[in-house]
Structure 1
Amino acid sequence: MTDFATSSIRRLVAAWDLPLVCERGLPAVTTEYLRDTFHWSRAEQATRALTSHFASARFADEVEYGVLLVPDPSKLDTRAPLPRELTAPDVFDERLPAGVALPGDGPWRLVVSVIGSYGPSLGSYNDVLASDGFVVDGQDTRTWMTRQVWGARVLQCGPTPPDCEHNERWTFTLFPGEPLVDGQAESGTVLKGKVRFRLGKPDRGIGSARVAPAVLV
């Protein structure tokens, strides 16, 4: 295996070493399971492609791309308030629908996306939808800019969640992969120890507004 695969697998095993995984009926995240289930050469290629494609984006120097493991929402739904065993009670706008889910019927899906504290700044929700610069490796990376993928990222990052006021700077992640709700755009952030799924103006393109381009492996 390459260094990329080895380091990625090690990071995922550590991140998902949670009793909740087996309690929810998900396969344990072990080195053997990850090695045998996913296409690591494809994941490495996608990581390099995302890094290169968005290298000129605002705040690109702050962004780290890599692999995220996203659970089957029928077992652990990262689109909704997260389990109380893991976080303080979330703040969830009741107007939000169920949300977009990744395709496929596997218990875990592998996504290459932003894995660190910050995504790139590429304008507002409207700006992102209007752009034609988001196709990487034949996939439109806006498709999986969703609440589910971001929620998995929050869990995977552990004690230093993304888009949190305790980071060097506070940000929020827009979800252009989700449709507008009552004319407002979905986003996620972490404030005062709580994961917050919110709605806001779709033309809000301030520097704190970030996105997380993603490729499904």
Structure 2
Amino acid sequence: MNDFVASSLDRLVTAWSTGPVADLVRDRGLPAITREYLLDTFAWQRAEDATRALTEHFAAARFADEVEYGVLLVPDPALLDTRGPLPDEVRPTPSPDVFDERLPAGVVLPGDRPWQLVATVIGSYGPSLGSYNDVIAADDFVVDGQDTRQWMTRQVWGARVLQCGETPPDCEDNERWTFTLFPGEALVDGQAESGTVLKGKVRFRLGKPDRGIGSARVAPAVLV
């Protein structure tokens, strides 16, 4: 077992098998995350190759030096739906999520497994690649044979917030506050979906699709 696999297993087991998140996983009927389950279920060489490919492909992006790529677990939304509000107790600051009621159900990853493994941003910040409109119009997002924009979704970001635990992404308590755009989701009434953590609340929002300030980030992803 190499360092990438060992560190990934440690991170995933810690994130999903301790504290209130572990209780949520159990209560929703998902398989418990253990080293044995992870090793038996997922293709780890492919995960490592995809993580390396993402890191190299987006190395020239603005703020690329802040970005940590790795593997993220995304639960089946039929059991645990990360596209919307979750119980207060699984949040770093127990406080109700803020969810714009205009948001549709949202895109889900393909497949029928209880857990999906995605190579993507796993740290506090994604790269800055412009506005929602900029990302949609670009033509350099294919990595490992996949268009990484198609998995820039609310579901994947919601899983990342859970996996990051007490240090959520896009949070004002980090060194800098950011928000993650979801180009994998269609515009809603001409507005773009994004997620952030602000004033202690996980927020699923809508905003201007041409907002390309440095705080606007994305999370390129490859489904493993």
Query: How high is the TM-score relative to the length of structure 1?
Result: 0.99
Cα distance in 1 for partners of 2:145, 2:60 equals 20
- 1:84 Cα deviation after fit: 2.6
Q: Which of residues 126, 146, 151 is equivalent to 2:158?
A: 151
Q: Which of residues 55, 68, 79 is equivalent to 2:72?
A: 68
Q: 2:85 aligned with 1:81, yes or no?
A: yes
Question: 1:1-217 counterparts in 2 under 5 A?
Answer: 1-17=1-17, 18-87=22-91, 88-217=95-224
- 1:85 Cα deviation after fit: 2.6
Aligned identity (percent) is 82
Give the paired residue count. 217
Where does structure 1 lack aligned partners over 5 or more consecutive residues?
none
Where does structure 2 lack aligned partners over 5 or more consecutive residues?
none
Q: Hey, which of these two has a bigger chunk of helix by percent?
A: 2
Counterpart amino acid of residue 32 in structure 1: E
Cα distance in 2 for partners of 1:193, 1:78 equals 18
Cα distance in 1 for partners of 2:216, 2:89 equals 29
Following TM superposition, the consecutive aligned residue runs of length 4 or more in structure 1 with deviations greater than 2 angstroms are: none
Cα distance in 1 for partners of 2:6, 2:60 equals 28
SS in 2 for 1:5: helix
Cα distance in 1 for partners of 2:50, 2:31 equals 25
Instruction: Spell out, residue by residue over 1:63-108, the C-alpha distance to the aligned partner (whole angstroms, 9 max, x if none).
Output: 0000000001011100011223312210000000000000000000
SS in 1 for 2:70: strand
CA-based RMSD of the aligned residues comes to 0.6
Instruction: Spell out, residue by residue over 1:22-49, the C-alpha distance to the aligned partner (whole angstroms, 9 max, x if none).
Output: 1100000000000000000000000000
Query: How high is the TM-score relative to the length of structure 2?
Result: 0.96
